[in-house]
Amino acid sequence: MIKFKITYIFHNCFVLDVGNLSIVFDIPAQRFRMRRTLSALEEAIRGRDVVVFFSHSHLDHFAPDYMEVCGCAKSVKAVLADDIGEMYQNDFFENALVVEPDEKYFFENLKIETLMSNDLGVAFMIETAEGLKIYNGGDLACWDWDNSSEAEQKFAKTFFENAADRISEFGSHIAFSNVERRLESLAGGPLLVEKVQPHIFVPTHALGRTEWLEGLHERLGIKPCRYFNYRRPGDCCTFKVTPSATLFERG
């Protein structure tokens, strides 16, 4: 049985505590951080060993000052998509791993596999030392906008379906994936749930507009006990999973 805690910070930024490690995703730049956002992050990582994953360089997903922001942590390492590496000087990346799409890495006792995003950067498939498997999509999603051509919409859906097949093979216990209320497809959320069948689904990319996430599990086709519903920075929930079985517990 693996026990872990997920804390919502803002937008695509979440903290996942498993064992002695805090895995942090996509801390946003200062322009996207309110005081309560920063406070929630500091409270979640204070005194912890931290590995921060950044999926790409868009500032709603990447904080150039992340070392300063995470200053209250016991230690900080980072995994950064290669487009970030192209934008910043090499000496910026102390204690960091720069990753490319469709590659495998081992870093800080984490097995990491990357997927190419159809937006920018990468998505992550991560396995912890405890055997917990995590998918975090960054901005990989089914971006089938109404104003796109039929060919563009078909490409977006096919690209995301192929990615979902790979994520399904990985066997994610947790899936952090975009939902978009302006899209009938919810940016592929229901498709991902159907193909991957994660123990827990975490909706992302709400840009602070979280009210509409209430009850979204019904449209996603997932039970409420397997859906992390959050409203404000610092909201958290503790879960338990049995990796070798489909049994799901929430505590």
Domain range list for the chain: 2-243
Average pLDDT (47-73) is: 96
Question: Which pair of structure tokens corresponds to residue 73?
Answer: 């942590």
Which tens digit of pLDDT belongs to each residue from 62-103?
Answer: 999 999 999 999 999 999 999 998 888 665 677 899 999 999
Tell me the pTM: 0.94
Question: Which pair of structure tokens corresponds to residue 251?
Answer: 């505590």
Residues 173 and 134 sit within 8 Å (Cβ to Cβ): yes
Q: Provide the pLDDT for residue 195.
A: 96
Please give the distance of CA 158 from its chain centroid, rounded to a whole number: 21
Which tens digit of pLDDT belongs to each residue from 153-199?
Answer: 999 999 999 999 999 999 999 999 999 999 999 999 999 999 999 99
Sheet with 21-25: list strands edge to edge. Answer: 96-99, 75-81, 49-54, 21-25, 13-18, 2-10, 236-241, 248-250
Asked if pLDDT for residue 249 goes beyond 70, the answer is no
Cα–Cα dist 165/176, whole Å: 16
Asked if pLDDT for residue 251 goes beyond 90, the answer is no
Residues 215 and 209 sit within 8 Å (Cβ to Cβ): no
**81 - beta bridge partners?**
99
Residues 52 and 64 sit within 8 Å (Cβ to Cβ): no
Q: Provide the pLDDT for residue 90.
A: 63
Fold annotation for 2-243: Metallo-beta-lactamase; Chain A (3.60.15)
Which tens digit of pLDDT belongs to each residue from 193-216?
Answer: 999 999 999 999 999 999 999 999
